[in-house]
Structure 1
Amino acid sequence: MKKILLSGIAMALLSAAIPPTKPQKTAPKSVTMATSAIQDKIKGGWAGQLIGCTFGGPTEFQFNGTLLNDYQPIPWYDGYMKHTMLNNPGLYDDIYMDLTFVDVFEKKGLDAPVDEHAKAYATASYMLWHANQAGRYNILNGMKAPESGHWLNNPHADDIDFQIEADFSGLMAPGMPNTAVQIGDPIGHIMNYGDGWYGGAYVGAMYSLAFVSNDVKYIVREALKTIPPQSTFYQCIADVIKWHDQYPTDWKRNWFEIQKKWSDEIGCPEGVFRAFNIDAKINSAYIVLGLLYGGGDFTKTMEISTRAGQDSDCNPASAGGILGTMLGYDKIPAYWKQGLKEAEDIDFKYTTMSLNDVYAMGMKHALQVVERNGGKITGDQVTIAVQTPKAVRLEQAFTGHYPVQVTHVRKNLENDYTAEFDGIGFVLKGEAKPKNRSSWGYESAFAFNAELYVDDKKIETAKLPVDFTHRRHELFWKYQLPKGKHTVRVKLLNPDPEHVVYISDLLVYNDQPVKSKL
C-alpha cells in the first residue's frame, strides 16, 4: 500500500465542496426528515470520530504548547483505519468509552441510573488516565457520582475526559441540544465537574444541532448557549468565535490568541508548570478552531483541529464527528472513507461492538429519544421538536486556587514523609508500583494503606493499589485550607519489599497567582 502524505492546499482540494448557504440565525420549531437521512447522519457522526481519531493519533501530545507546521506530514492511506484498529486499538478511547455508555442504554434502557454507567466504566478492563482514572478510583472505593467527579475529590475535574466521551449524547438527541446535555449530565459528573463537564455538554449540543443545520458557524454559536456565560469555558470559546470574526482567514493568529490568554493550566497536576495541557476548554477551543476555519470542508477541519496540537487525536475526532453528522455519511469525501468499509465490522477493543453495530443501536436510541421529547415517527418520516438551547447551571472548579510552586521530591516513601508549604492547598504526585519497574500495565492485588495528616490532623486513610487499572492517579491532595503555613505528613501503614510508593512532586496552591517581574 502506498502511503499518501499531504498537507495544506493539496489536501484541501480533496474535500467535497459545501454549497454556499445563507447564514442561519434561528432554528425552526420542528424539522421533518426521512429515517434514512437521520441514519446517514448518525453514521456520519460515528465514522467521523473514527477518521479524526485515526488521523490525529500519530501526533497526540507530541506538540504541546506549539502548533504543527505545515510541512509536518500526517499519514493517510487506504487500509490505515483497519491497520490502526488492529495494531493500536488503545488509540480509540474516544469511541470505546462512548460505547460503554451506549451499551448500558442498550441493555438497561434509556432510564438506566447513573450507577449502572459508573459501574460499567469503573469495572471495564481498559486503562484510563486523568479524570477518568480518578473517577474510576473513587467509584471503586465507594464514592458515587457526582461526588466522584467533583474537583475536591478529583484533581482532574477540568480535564478533557467527558468531552471526548460525550458524542453519544448528541447523536441520541437529534435537534434537541437541551436533551443531549441532560442525557450527558449525570454521566459527565462521574468523572468531571465545571469546565470538564461543560466540554462534554458543548460537544453533545453541537452534535445535536448538526442534525438540523448545515451552517457550521450557527452550530458552534448556538451550542454555546447551553453553557453559562459566567464560566471560563464559555468565555474561552466566545473568544475563539470573536477572533474568528476578526481574523477570518488566519487560523494560526487565532491559535496564538488562544495560547496567549487561555493556556495557563490550573487543575491537572500533570499540566501545571508544563506545556502539556489536557484542560477541556483549550482543547475544545481547538475543535472550534477546526470547525470555524474549516468552514464545512472536511479536509481543512481535520488539518486545523489536528495541527492545533495538544490532544490532537481527540480534537479532530470530535470535530470530524460533528462535521460528519452535519454532512452525513454519504457526503464525507471518499478520500477520507478509503478503507472505512473494511474497518466497520471490527469490534472495538474492550467491547463486542463494531461501527456497524453502533450505527444500528444509535438509530434505535435516537428514535426513542425523539418520541420522548415531543417528536413523532410516521412511516419513514421523523418529525423532530427542535429545541432552543438553554444554559445549564454554573459550576467552576479550583476557584480562588492558583498553582505557585512545585517541589521535586523524587524518592520512595519508606515509612513516613513530611513537608512544609505556604498556601491554601497541595497535590502530592506519585504512584504505588512494583519495585524497580514501571507500573504501566502492571496487575497485582496488592495495595498499600497510607494515612494523610495536615497540621497533625488525620485527613484520610487511603488505599494505594499497585495495579494500573485500579491505581490512585495522585497520592494525596487537599484544597481550601486556611491561608498560611502548613505541614503535610504521609504515613505508610504496610510497607512491602516487592512494591514501593514513589513520590514525584509536591504541587502547592495559594489564593493569588505568582506575578511576573516583567
Structure 2
Amino acid sequence: MRYLLFPLLTVAFLVAALTPVSRKLPKTVTLTKATLQDKIKGGWAGQVIGCTFGGPTEFRYNGTMINDYQPIEWYDGYIKQTMLNNPGLYDDVYMDLTFVDVFERKGLDAPVAEHANAYATAGYMLWHANQAGRYNILNGMKAPDSGHWLNNPHADDIDFQIEADFSGLMAPGMPNTAVQLGDPIGHIMNYGDGWYGGAFVGAMYALAFVSNDVNYIVSEALKTIPAQSTFYQCINDVIRWHQQYPTDWKRNWFEIQKKWSDDVGCPDGVFRAFNIDAKINAAYIVLGLLYGKGDFTKTMEISTRAGQDSDCNPASAGGILGTMLGYAKIPAYWKQGLSEAEDIDFKYTTVSLNEVYAMSLKHALQVIERNGGRVTGDAVTIATQTPKAVRLEQGFSGHFPVQLRSINKDIESEYSFDFEGIGFVLKGEAKPKNRSLWQYESEVVFRAELYIDGQKTETANLPVSFTKRRHELFWKYQLPNGKHTIRVKLLNSDADHVVRMTDLLVYSDRPVKAR
C-alpha cells in the first residue's frame, strides 16, 4: 500500500495544481483616479498595439499557425505610420469609438437606435456581421432583429467580439454591467455565439481592473456565458487543455483545430480554411492570455501566431492585459512611438487615443456611481460583481452545411435552381461591369424578388455601393426538409452594372457522414 501512496499523492497534487482556485473578489475595491485612468489607457493602448502588430498577418494564416522562425516586425514609429498609411486596419478601434462617441453625445441611456444609426451611416467600410447588420438597419430593420441569425448569415462571426472593449472599459470590476451595456449594441450585428464573444471580452476587461490573475480573469468572465452554448464549451475546452498542457500552447492550438474549426454560419468560411467565427478566434485570445501568463510580449506573440484574425485577436488580448497591467507597466518596447500617435484622430472619427482615454474615464466614473460605487475626491470605490450567466441563444441549431456549389453567372432577368435540404445561402454581389468603375461609389440599386417553391417570399434591394451592399444576395433557413426550387427575378437592369451570383451554400438537417 505504501508503494502506491506516493503516486497517488503526486496525482492529487497535480490535479490540485491544475484546477483553477475558486475565489471571490472583495465586495468593494478602491482605486485612485490616477490608477483607474492608467488602466483605461492601458486597455485602449493595448488594443491599438495588438491591432498594429498583427495587421500584416491578418487572415494570411488560416487553419495554420505562424511558425516561430518567421519574424513579425515592430519598430519605433510603426504605430503612427500604420495609422496614417493604413487606417482601415483599425476597424475594431473605430467601431468601438462609434459607440463611445454616442455615449458621450447622448449619455449612458442612449437608445440602441442611436448606436445603430451611427454605425450604419458612418463612412467606413464593413464586412460580415457588421455589414449585414448595417444593410438591415439602412433598409428599415431594427435591432435586435438586424443581428438575428435568420436575418444575418454572419450572426456567429467575430464582429461584436472585436468591438466590445468599450463595455468592459466603462464597467471596472463589474462584468455583469459590462455585458448589459454591450447587450443591445451587440445585437445590432450579432446573435448567439457572436454576441457571446463580445460579452466574454467585455467581462474580461471589467475583471482586469480588479484582478492581476489572468487565469482568474478568463475563467470568471466565462461564467457570464451559458454553459449550454457552443461558445462556452469551446472556451472551456481551451481552459481545460491549458490545465492538461500548461507549457505547450501549440498542442492546445491543435486540439482547438481538431474540435472547433468547422464553421457553420459564415458563408465565406463554410467548407474553407478561413474562419471568422467568434468562438475559435476567442479561443486564440484566451490562448494568448493563458500561455502568456501576464507577459505582454508572450501574449502578443501567441495570440498573433495562432492565425486567422491575427490582428483583432492580439488587439483583444493586448487590451485586456493592458488593462490588468496599466499603461505604465506595458513594456517600453511596445509603447515605442505610441505617444506620437495618441493625438491622431482615427480615420472616420474625430476621436484620438488621448481623447478616448479621457472620455472612457468619465464614462467609467458615471457607471461606477450608478452601480453602487462612489467617487470621493481622488478615491474611486467599485462595488464588484460576481459574474452571472446571460440568457441562452444559439444560432443555426439543427443546420448542417452539406454542399457548396459554384455558379459564377450574372442574372440576366431571372435564375432558377433546385436543392435538397432545409436552407440555403446564395452568395454574390451587385457590381460594375468594368473594373475601372470599381473605384467610384455608385448609387445604382438593383431590385430583386425571391421565390421559394413558387411563392414570393422577399423583395430585396441590392445596392452596388460597397458601404451599403447586401453581403449575400439571398438566404433562407428553417425550410421543410426536402427538395426546393428557388427563383430569383431581377426587376431592373443597368448598362454599367450587373448582379453576379458566385456560390450556393446548402444546409441539411443532418451532417454529411464521412465515408
| Global fold match (TM > 0.5) | yes
1:442 is displaced (CA, Å) by 4.1
Match of 2:139 among 141, 157, 163: 141
Match of 1:249 among 247, 250, 255: 247
Contact 1:442 1:466 in 2 (8 A): no
1:56 is displaced (CA, Å) by 0.1
2:67 pairs with 1:53: no
Structure 2 residue aligned with 1:296? 294
Distance 1:513 1:497 in 2: 43
2:285 pairs with 1:287: yes
1:440 is displaced (CA, Å) by 5.9
Question: What number of residue pairs does the alignment pair up?
Answer: 496
> Is the alpha carbon distance of 1:427 and 1:335 closer, same or farther for their aligned partners in structure 2, counting shifts above 3 Å?
same
Kindly provide the amino acid, as one letter, of the partner of residue 278 in structure 1.
I
Contact 2:432 2:438 in 1 (8 A): no
Per-residue deviation, residues 214-250 of structure 1 (Å, max 9, x unmatched): 0000000000000000000000000000000000000
1:169 is displaced (CA, Å) by 0.1
Distance 1:439 1:311 in 2: 30
Kindly provide the amino acid, as one letter, of the partner of residue 68 in structure 1.
I
> Is the alpha carbon distance of 1:330 and 1:445 closer, same or farther for their aligned partners in structure 2, counting shifts above 3 Å?
same
Correspondence list, 1:14-413, <5 A: 25-413=23-411
Distance 2:408 2:358 in 1: 51
Distance 2:447 2:298 in 1: 51
> Is the alpha carbon distance of 1:439 and 1:281 closer, same or farther for their aligned partners in structure 2, counting shifts above 3 Å?
farther
Gaps of 5+ in 2: 1-19
1:441 is displaced (CA, Å) by 5.4
1:432 is displaced (CA, Å) by 0.2
Match of 1:450 among 448, 451, 463: 448
Partner secondary structure for residue 363 of structure 2: helix
Distance 1:440 1:480 in 2: 36
Distance 1:445 1:309 in 2: 37
Structure 1 residue aligned with 2:413? 415
Contact 2:399 2:509 in 1 (8 A): yes
TM normalised by structure 2 equals: 0.95
1:24 is displaced (CA, Å) by 7.1
Kindly provide the amino acid, as one letter, of the partner of residue 115 in structure 1.
A
Structure 2 residue aligned with 1:15? none
Per-residue deviation, residues 459-494 of structure 1 (Å, max 9, x unmatched): 100000000000000000000000000001100000
Distance 1:309 1:236 in 2: 17
Contact 1:433 1:439 in 2 (8 A): no
Distance 1:411 1:402 in 2: 26
Kindly provide the amino acid, as one letter, of the partner of residue 358 in structure 2.
A
Partner secondary structure for residue 236 of structure 2: helix
Structure 1 residue aligned with 2:491? 493
> Is the alpha carbon distance of 1:51 and 1:478 closer, same or farther for their aligned partners in structure 2, counting shifts above 3 Å?
same
1:438 is displaced (CA, Å) by 8.1
Per-residue deviation, residues 325-345 of structure 1 (Å, max 9, x unmatched): 000000000000000000100
1:436 is displaced (CA, Å) by 3.0
Contact 1:439 1:468 in 2 (8 A): no
Distance 2:31 2:336 in 1: 28
Per-residue deviation, residues 38-94 of structure 1 (Å, max 9, x unmatched): 000000000000000000000000000000000111000000000000000000011
Distance 2:440 2:188 in 1: 25
Structure 2 residue aligned with 1:7? none
Contact 1:105 1:112 in 2 (8 A): yes
Kindly provide the amino acid, as one letter, of the partner of residue 487 in structure 2.
R
Structure 2 residue aligned with 1:505? 503
Q: What percent identity do the matched residue pairs reach?
A: 81
Correspondence list, 1:427-442, <5 A: 427-437=425-435, 442=440
Kindly provide the amino acid, as one letter, of the partner of residue 306 in structure 1.
T
Distance 2:463 2:351 in 1: 30
Contact 1:442 1:468 in 2 (8 A): no
Partner secondary structure for residue 209 of structure 2: coil
Contact 1:34 1:381 in 2 (8 A): yes
Structure 2 residue aligned with 1:6? none
Partner secondary structure for residue 107 of structure 1: helix
Distance 1:280 1:449 in 2: 32
Structure 1 residue aligned with 2:12? none
Contact 2:132 2:154 in 1 (8 A): yes
Contact 1:429 1:503 in 2 (8 A): yes
1:439 is displaced (CA, Å) by 7.9
> Is the alpha carbon distance of 1:418 and 1:161 closer, same or farther for their aligned partners in structure 2, counting shifts above 3 Å?
same
Structure 2 residue aligned with 1:471? 469
Structure 2 residue aligned with 1:514? 512
Per-residue deviation, residues 486-505 of structure 1 (Å, max 9, x unmatched): 00110000011110000000
Distance 1:97 1:47 in 2: 15
Contact 1:441 1:469 in 2 (8 A): no
Distance 1:192 1:278 in 2: 13
Distance 2:298 2:139 in 1: 45
Structure 2 residue aligned with 1:16? none
Distance 1:95 1:364 in 2: 19
Contact 2:79 2:337 in 1 (8 A): yes
Partner secondary structure for residue 467 of structure 2: helix
Structure 2 residue aligned with 1:481? 479
Contact 1:441 1:468 in 2 (8 A): no
Contact 1:54 1:84 in 2 (8 A): yes
Kindly provide the amino acid, as one letter, of the partner of residue 331 in structure 1.
K
1:437 is displaced (CA, Å) by 2.5
Contact 2:92 2:162 in 1 (8 A): yes
